[in-house]
Chains A and B, each alone.
Chain A
Amino acid sequence: MNYEDRIVTAFTACSVFWAVLGMLAGVYVAAELVWPTIDFGLPGLSFGRLRTLHTTLVLFGFGVSGLVATGLYSVQRTSHVRLFAPGLAWFVLYAWQLTIVLGGASILAGWNAGKEYAELEWPFDLAIAVAWVSFGVVFFGTIARRKMEAIYISNWFYGALIIVVAMLHIVNSLALPATFGKSYSLFAGAQDAVVQWWYGHNAVGFLLTGGFLGMLYYFLPKQAEQPIWSYRLSIVAFWAFVYTYIWAGPHHLHYHSIPEWVQSLGMAMSLILLAPSWATMVNGIMTVSAAAKKLRSDPALKFIVLSLAFYGLATFEGPMLAIKSVNVFSHFTEWTIGHVHSGALGWNALITFGTFYFLVPRLAGAPLYSARLANIHFWLALAGVMLYVLSMWGAGVSQGVLWLSLDKLGEVRFSFNDVMAAMKPYYLLRFIGGLLFLAGAVLMAVNLARTFSGRRTVVVAPPPAHAAKGLT
């Protein structure tokens, strides 16, 4: 009995492909903000469509494919069994990738449900629901057949990702179809906004945080060759994370037409969230500290350690931005974009890159094609994300100051055009940062493809003894 790893390879390849394409779309829209005429008057190249394509490809193409790949890889190993219903897992692969391809084309054609990070129209929503539930059947089916008593902590995070994202997606996508390409949400007005940001923030929480914490808790001990520093802390952090995150969404709607107490509750829960987030960061850093020597030579581990630093930064910045008095200043500014990308590039992308540098040589049964290229990728990624985040902080603070600047009569001193003109240097820096990050991702794609081209047949099976017994 051997582990089913071909499906893991397929999802990993798709993830790398979408990473490059999604980031390319991101760099192009960043360039459009500097040189607005490069849409050439074509609707398919307009900022509104390409930006939506960018978020869809990186979130659902790169991010979700990477999470499914690593989830299916780790759940078999931590359960000491082969994947449950591997045929269904292949169905998930084809259904998910087809949805991304056709969904991406529909966005370029102008279809849009009007909900951020959930822009795909109802036929794609249905396809996503079917594929996602199928993924859940494969994942939980494997857990149910496990030969270990304990369910390892990474599986708790992957499990939370599957359950909560299913719930969020289905509820937020409830709509009345008008035509094949147009539907109207079942919710209206303020209720629609509340449901949308319950979805939106928890997509960030359970997909971009919880899912990737699952990746961290499995692949960090693997790479560091050390057990997690405090397993007890990881359990406490999991439950605190799950309970707290689900409440934090209303901080996206500060000073909007929703009840004041809902906004305050969202703010309070966002501040509490700092505790489980930093508990995980401390747990990760203490785990790495026991393998500090390996850090010098292992490019994969370097990516993971850097991602932990950005995780700490983003999970500190998020609660601060959720404070209502700070939000007065930061809302609708580029600071938010900088915050999102310190998490998305610094945390999600870097931990995925590090994991792929670990995973692909094992899947291929061959050493990494070039550790030097991986190291160059590391520095390109670090330079890119720093340039991106710092430029957006500068832009956001400038926007906040300029928008809140009033003259003696209480009128705004700077017009929208004045503020936009002041953004140009920051947008140029952001474009360069994105370009560096994309260049690194392309290097990784080449490196991993060359690694895989030297593959040999690999057979990895569960260990003979199922010794571990423990808590559930």
Chain B
Amino acid sequence: MTLLIFFGDMLVMAFMIAVVVWLSLRATRKQLDAASRIPLEDEDPHG
């Protein structure tokens, strides 16, 4: 039982790592830069 749970955990961890790698490689530099600037360009005080 312990071994089963251990290997189950390792599978979940492998999935987690795959998702993180996929997400981090998915976006281009330009897209990331644009997203990172959102808080700096989100208000029009004269609106």
**CB-based contact A231/B20 at 8 Å:** no
Q: Produce 1/0 per residue, A233-245, CB < 8 A to B.
A: 0011001100110
**CB-based contact B34/A470 at 8 Å:** yes
A424-472 contacts to B (CB < 8 Å): 459-464, 467-471
Given contacts A231-B33, A265-B9, A471-B31, A77 and B24 within 8 Å (CB-CB): no
**CB-based contact A150/B38 at 8 Å:** yes
For the complex, what is the distance from the CA of A459 to the CA of B47, rounded to whole Å? 6
For the complex, what is the distance from the CA of A459 to the CA of B46, rounded to whole Å? 7
Number of B interface residues at 8 Å Cβ cutoff, please give it.
28
Given contacts A239-B19, A240-B20, A261-B5, A471 and B42 within 8 Å (CB-CB): no
Interface of B is mostly: helix
Q: Which residues of A contact B40 (CB under 8 A)?
A: 221-222, 225-227
Which chain B residue lies CB-closest to A236? B24
For the complex, what is the distance from the CA of A74 to the CA of B43, rounded to whole Å? 11
Q: Produce 1/0 per residue, A390-419, CB < 8 A to B.
A: 000000000000000000000000000000
Number of A interface residues at 8 Å Cβ cutoff, please give it.
40
For the complex, what is the distance from the CA of A258 to the CA of B27, rounded to whole Å? 43
For the complex, what is the distance from the CA of A228 to the CA of B32, rounded to whole Å? 10
**CB-based contact B5/A227 at 8 Å:** no
Which chain A residue lies CB-closest to B20? A239
Q: Which residues of A contact B9 (CB under 8 A)?
A: 265
For the complex, what is the distance from the CA of A77 to the CA of B40, rounded to whole Å? 10
CB of A264, distance to nearest CB on chain B (Å): 10
Q: Produce 1/0 per residue, B10-47, CB < 8 A to A.
A: 00000010011001101100011111111111111111
**CB-based contact A468/B39 at 8 Å:** no
CB of B33, distance to nearest CB on chain A (Å): 7
A2-39 contacts to B (CB < 8 Å): 2-3
- Residue in A154, A232, A244 with the greatest tally of chain B CB atoms within 10 Å: A232
For the complex, what is the distance from the CA of A74 to the CA of B26, rounded to whole Å? 25
Q: Which residues of A contact B23 (CB under 8 A)?
A: 235-236, 239
| Interface: A311 (CB within 8 A) | no
Given contacts A459-B47, A463-B41, A227 and B33 within 8 Å (CB-CB): yes
Given contacts A232-B24, A261-B5, A471-B26, A150 and B31 within 8 Å (CB-CB): yes
Q: Which residues of B contact A77 (CB under 8 A)?
A: 39, 42-43
**CB-based contact A470/B35 at 8 Å:** yes
> 12 other contacts beyond A240-B20, A261-B2, A469-B31, with CB at 8 A cut-off?
A2-B47, A77-B43, A78-B42, A148-B38, A150-B34, A150-B35, A227-B33, A236-B20, A244-B16, A261-B5, A461-B44, A461-B47
Chosen A-B contacts, 6 in total, with CB atoms closer than 8 Å, are A77-B43, A78-B38, A461-B44, A461-B47, A467-B34, A468-B34
The 6 closest A-B pairs by CB, nearest first: A461-B47, A471-B27, A470-B31, A77-B42, A231-B36, A227-B36
